[in-house]
Structure 1
Amino acid sequence: MDDLLAARLQMAVSLGWHIVFACIGMTMPILMAYSEWKWLRTKEQVYIDLAKAWSKGVAIFFAVGAVSGTVLSFELGLLFPGFMEHAGPIIGMPFSWEGTAFFVEAIALGVFLYGWNRLNKWVHWLSGVVVGISGVMSGIFVISANAWMNSPAGFTWEDGKPTNIDPVAAMFNDAWFTQALHMTLAAFVATAFAVAGVHAYLLLKDRNNAFHKTAVRIALAFGAVAAFLQPISGDISAKDIAERQPAKLAALEALYHTSQPADLVIGGIPNDQEERVDYAIHVPGFLSFLAHGDFDAEVIGLDQFPKDERPPVLITHIAFQIMVGIGFLLAFAGFLYLLFSARFKHLLAKRWWLWFIALLTPLGFIAVEAGWTVTEVGRQPWIIHGVMKTKDAVSPMPGLQYSFYMITLVYLVLTLIIIGLMRRQIATIETYYPSARTKPE
C-alpha cells in the first residue's frame, strides 16, 4: 500500500466514523429540546422521560464525537501537511468558529444535564435549545471548510502560493450554502429515522408502550419533513455542481461523452475501458433538465477532461446511486407517515409498519456515507479543486499504512464499546422512566 492510498484511507475511515456522531450531534439535541418543550406545554410524563433519556444518549455521542473530531483536525496536518501549509491561513475562520460553537455546546449541555430540578424550567429548556443550535452551527462551519475545497475562493494563487487572502470570502464560498443545506437535512433524515427505527423495534416487543410510541411519532415527524425537503436540496446541489464541478457531475452520472441532450442513468456498472455504462436504465434528456433546467441542454462529459484529472467513476457513480435510492425510499416512508397520521392512524400500530420503520434504521447513515463518498472521491484528483492535487499535499513521511491500521483498530474497538453502552442504556429504560412501563408499579 503506497502512502497516498494509506493517507486517503485513514481520512476516509476517520471521517466516515466521525460523520455519524456529527449527524447525531446536529439532530438529537433538537429532538431532546422539542420533547422537553412538549412537557412544559402539556405536563405529560412521557415527554420529560424522553427528554431525559435522549439527553443521556446525547452526552455519550457528544463525548465520542468530540474525540473523533479532534483526531480529524490533527490528521489533516499529519497526513496532508502540503494542504494545511496553504489552506490554514485561508480557511482558518470556519474552524475557529466551529471551535467556538463546540465550546458553547459543551457548556450548554453541561447545564442541561446537571440543571434538572436546579434551574427554572424554561431556563433549563433554553439551555437545551442552545445545545441544538450550536450543534447545527458547528456542523455548518465544518461543511463550509469542506465546501471551500470544492469551490476555492478568497485568495489569488500565484507561483504556487496564496496571496490576497480574504477569509470571509473563503468561508462564504459558492458551495457553502448548497452543501450546508444538503448535509444539515441529511443529518436530520439519518438521525430521525434511526431513532424512530430503534424505538419501533422496541415497540414491537411491547405494543402498548407510550414511551416508544411517542418517540416514534416525534422522530418520524422530524424525519419526514427533512426527507421531503432533501430531494429539493439535492436538485439545487446538482445544478450547482454542474456549473462548478462538471467533472464530478459527469463521474457521478457516469457520463463519458458530452451529450446534448444527456440521459439520466439509473443503476448500471461503469466500464472505463469501453467508456460506457452496462446494465443501466436511461431516461432521455432528464440529466440535462436536472443539471440545467432544460431538457435539451448540453451536459459536459468526462471526454472534456484529461484522464489524469477525471474522478474515479465506478466508486462515485455507485455511491451516488446508493445515496439517491435511499433518499427517495426515506422520502416515501415520510410521505406514508404523514398520510397515515392524517387519514389512517390505525395503520401506525400495525406490525408491518413498525417492521418497515425498524428496517430503515441504518439506511439514512448509509446514505450519508455514500454522499460524502461522492463529495470526496468525486473531487479527486484534487484536494483543492483546480488548485492542488491530493498527491502533492500528502506527507512525505514513510509508513503511513501503519497509522491507517492503528486508527482503524481503535475505531473498531470504540464502536464495540459504544454499542455496549447504548445497549445498556436501552435495557434500563423501563427502570428509570415511568412512561416506559406498560403496567404501573
Structure 2
Amino acid sequence: MPPSVDALFLARTQFGFTIAFHIIFPAMSIGLASYLAVLEGAWLFTGKSVYLAVFRYWLTIFAVVFGVGVVSGLVMSYEFGTNWAGFAYRAGPVVGPLMGYEVLTAFFLESGFLGVMLFGMTRVGPKLHFLATVLVAIGTLLSAFWILAANSWMQTPQGFEMVDGRFVPTDWLSIIFNPSFPYRLVHMVLAAYLSVAFIVGAVGAWHLLRDPGNEPARLMASMALWMACIVAPIQILAGDAHGVNTLKHQPAKIAALEGDWESKPGQPLILFGMPNMKTETTDYAVEIPHLGALILTHTWNGSIRGLKEFAREDRPFSPLIFWAFRVMVGLGVLMALTGFASLALRARHSLYRARWLHRLMVAMGPSGLIALLCGWTVTEVGRQPYTVYGHLRTADSVSPIAAPGVATSLAAFGVVYLIVFGAAMVFVLRLMARPPSLATEGPAKDKPHRSAGITPGPAQRQPASTTTGNTSARDDRHDRHD
C-alpha cells in the first residue's frame, strides 16, 4: 500500500529536520580541521606562541563538533531504512557503495588520527602531531568528496542502467564525477570555510570588544577577515558557475528559485516578490530588465524556461527556494563587503580599534551557517518531486508506513535533538565565551618549540600579561603589522 500524502510530508519533514541539524557539524568540522592545520603549521614555521594558543583554544571545540557530527550522521543512516525503504532498495546499489567508500577512507582516516591530534602533542612530538592534524583535515575533505559525490549523483544521475526498477552501476567514474559534482564540491567546501571563518571572527571580535589588546583574539579576527576578503568573492564566482550548470541539468529548479513563470527574451532578474503556485505568477515582483538573462545565460537577450513549461506535478515549491536563495546570496554579499571593509581599516592601521566592525563581526557570526542551510534548502527542495532527479520520485522512495508512525518518531526526534544537540551547542558557546590567552593550559609553549628545532624569541618568553595589555603604544605596534 503506498503511503499517504501526510505520511510522505511527515517523512520529508523528519529527514529535513535531522539533516539540518547534521549538516552544521560536518561543515564546521571541515573548516575547523583545515584552520587547525594552518595554525599549527604557522606555529611550527614562525615559533610564535600566539598560533599555538589559538590552536589549543579551537582544538577542544573541534573535538565536540566532530563528535556531535558523527552521532547525528548515524541517525540519518537509520532513517534510510525506516522512512525511505523505497529509495534504499532502488538506489542502494549506487548510493550504498559511495557511503561505504566514505567510511573506509575518510572516517577511518579522521578517527585514526583524531586521538593523536587531541592528546599526542607531548607524546609524538610537534612534527608528527602536525602530520596527524593535516591527515584529519584531509579526512574531512575526503568525507565531503564522497558525500557530495552521492548527493550530486542524485541531482544529475548518470553511469547506471535500470534493472527491475533498481539503479545498477555501469560506470563508477561517471557516477562519481557526474556533471554537477565539481561545482557542488567546490561550493560546499568554500561554504564550510566561510562559515568557520565568520564563527572564528565573531569569537575573536567578541573578546576584542572586552579586551582590545588580547593577542589571540586579534589573530582570530585578522585571519577570519582575510578569509572573508579572499574566499567570499571566489564563492560568488563559484555560485555563478554552479547556477549555469544547474540551468543546464535542472532547469525547473532555476525557474523556481528565480520566480520565472514565463519564458521571454531578456529575462528580468526578480529581486523580490512572492511566487504564487496557484495563480502561476510572482506577486509584488521588483524586477531589473535583462539582468536575469545576463547572469544565467551570459547574454543580454537570453531566456530560460519558465515554470509554466513544466507539468504541475514536476514543479518544485517555488516560494521556499525563491526566498532561501535570496537569503543565501544576500548573506554572501554581506560577507564579501565585511571583508572589503576590513581592507580599508588595515590600510589605516585601525583594524583592532574599529569597534563598529567588531560588533558587525559578532552579528555576522552565524551568517555562514544560515547561508549554508539556505543553500541546502535550495538544492534539496529544488530537486523535488524527485529523489533521483528525473528517474525516481519522492513518493516512490518513502517506506509504506502510516502517518501516525512517522509523526510519533518525528516528535521523539524533535525532543531528543533539542535536548542533546541543544546541550551540545550551549557547551560549545560556553567554550567560545572563554577569553583566549597565551597562558592556555596544555603543553608548555616553549617545550614543543625546542623539540621542533625552534628557539622561542624574547616575545615568546614574556609573561602573557606583557603581551596582552591595553596601551595605545602596543595597539599602534600591532596595527602596523595586522
Question: Which SS does the other structure have where 1:277 is aligned?
Answer: strand
Cα deviation, 1:197-232, whole Å, max 9, x if unaligned, reads 122112111111111111111222223322121111
Partner of residue 111, structure 2? 106
Cα deviation, 1:13-68, whole Å, max 9, x if unaligned, reads 11111111011111101111111112112222211111111111111111100111
Partner of residue 312, structure 2? 307
- Contact 2:43 2:51 (8 Å CA) reproduced: yes
Partner of residue 217, structure 1? 222
1:171 to 2:179 alignment: no
Equivalent in 326, 335, 338 of residue 321 of structure 1: 326
- Aligned partners of 1:427 and 1:160: how far apart in 2? 53
1:20 partner letter: I
Q: Moved runs in structure 1, 4+ residues, more than 4 A?
A: 427-431, 433-437
Unaligned runs of 5+ in 2: 442-462, 471-482
Question: Which SS does the other structure have where 1:378 is aligned?
Answer: helix
- Aligned partners of 1:435 and 1:139: how far apart in 2? 39
Cα displacement (A) at 1:280 = 2.9
Cα displacement (A) at 1:271 = 2.1
- Aligned partners of 1:164 and 1:279: how far apart in 2? 47
- Aligned partners of 1:158 and 1:307: how far apart in 2? 29
- Aligned partners of 2:35 and 2:148: how far apart in 1? 22
Equivalent in 418, 421, 439 of residue 424 of structure 2: 418
Structure 1's 423 and 247: CA in aligned 2 closer, same or farther, altered over 3 A? closer
Cα displacement (A) at 1:182 = 0.7
Aligned length: 439
* Worse-matched range after superposition: 63-72 or 427-436: 427-436
1:414 partner letter: V
* Worse-matched range after superposition: 161-170 or 96-105: 161-170
Partner of residue 269, structure 2? 264
- Contact 1:50 1:211 (8 Å CA) reproduced: yes
Partner of residue 48, structure 2? 44
- Contact 2:272 2:287 (8 Å CA) reproduced: no
- Aligned partners of 1:87 and 1:34: how far apart in 2? 39
Cα deviation, 1:350-406, whole Å, max 9, x if unaligned, reads 111100111101111111111000001111111110001101111112211111111
1:42 partner letter: T
* Worse-matched range after superposition: 106-115 or 302-311: 106-115
- Contact 2:61 2:428 (8 Å CA) reproduced: yes
- Aligned partners of 1:79 and 1:222: how far apart in 2? 40
Partner of residue 74, structure 2? 70
Partner of residue 15, structure 1? 19
Cα displacement (A) at 1:249 = 0.3
TM-score by length of 2: 0.87
Structure 1's 347 and 195: CA in aligned 2 closer, same or farther, altered over 3 A? closer
- Contact 2:342 2:351 (8 Å CA) reproduced: no
- Contact 2:31 2:195 (8 Å CA) reproduced: no
Partner of residue 415, structure 2? 409
- Aligned partners of 2:393 and 2:139: how far apart in 1? 33
1:360 to 2:367 alignment: no
Partner of residue 95, structure 1? 99
Partner of residue 475, structure 2? none
After superposition, residues 100-179 of structure 1 pair within 5 angstroms as 100-157=105-162, 160-163=165-168, 165-179=170-184
Question: Which SS does the other structure have where 1:274 is aligned?
Answer: coil
Partner of residue 457, structure 2? none
Cα displacement (A) at 1:435 = 5.0
- Aligned partners of 2:169 and 2:122: how far apart in 1? 54
- Contact 1:140 1:184 (8 Å CA) reproduced: no
* Worse-matched range after superposition: 401-410 or 332-341: 332-341
2:201 partner letter: A
Q: Once superposed, what is the RMSD of the aligned Cα atoms?
A: 1.9
1:432 to 2:440 alignment: yes
Question: Which SS does the other structure have where 2:10 is aligned?
Answer: helix
Cα deviation, 1:262-321, whole Å, max 9, x if unaligned, reads 111112111223322223321212222222221212211111111011000110101111
Cα deviation, 1:89-145, whole Å, max 9, x if unaligned, reads 113333122112012011222111111122232221111111111112211211111
- Aligned partners of 1:114 and 1:424: how far apart in 2? 22
Unaligned runs of 5+ in 1: none
1:275 partner letter: E
After superposition, residues 174-185 of structure 1 pair within 5 angstroms as 174-185=179-190
- Aligned partners of 1:75 and 1:164: how far apart in 2? 23
Structure 1's 8 and 287: CA in aligned 2 closer, same or farther, altered over 3 A? same
Cα displacement (A) at 1:409 = 1.4
Structure 1's 269 and 166: CA in aligned 2 closer, same or farther, altered over 3 A? same
Question: Which SS does the other structure have where 1:345 is aligned?
Answer: coil
Partner of residue 250, structure 1? 255
Identity of aligned residues (%): 34
Partner of residue 392, structure 1? 396
Higher relative contact order (Cα pairs below 8 Å, separated by 6+ residues)? 2
- Contact 2:225 2:339 (8 Å CA) reproduced: yes
Question: Which SS does the other structure have where 2:301 is aligned?
Answer: coil
Partner of residue 287, structure 1? 292
Structure 1's 163 and 61: CA in aligned 2 closer, same or farther, altered over 3 A? closer
- Contact 1:104 1:131 (8 Å CA) reproduced: yes
Structure 1's 377 and 164: CA in aligned 2 closer, same or farther, altered over 3 A? closer
- Contact 1:90 1:154 (8 Å CA) reproduced: no
Structure 1's 260 and 199: CA in aligned 2 closer, same or farther, altered over 3 A? same
Cα displacement (A) at 1:418 = 1.4
- Aligned partners of 2:329 and 2:425: how far apart in 1? 28
Structure 1's 214 and 328: CA in aligned 2 closer, same or farther, altered over 3 A? same
TM-score by length of 1: 0.95
> Which structure: larger Rg?
2
1:370 to 2:371 alignment: no
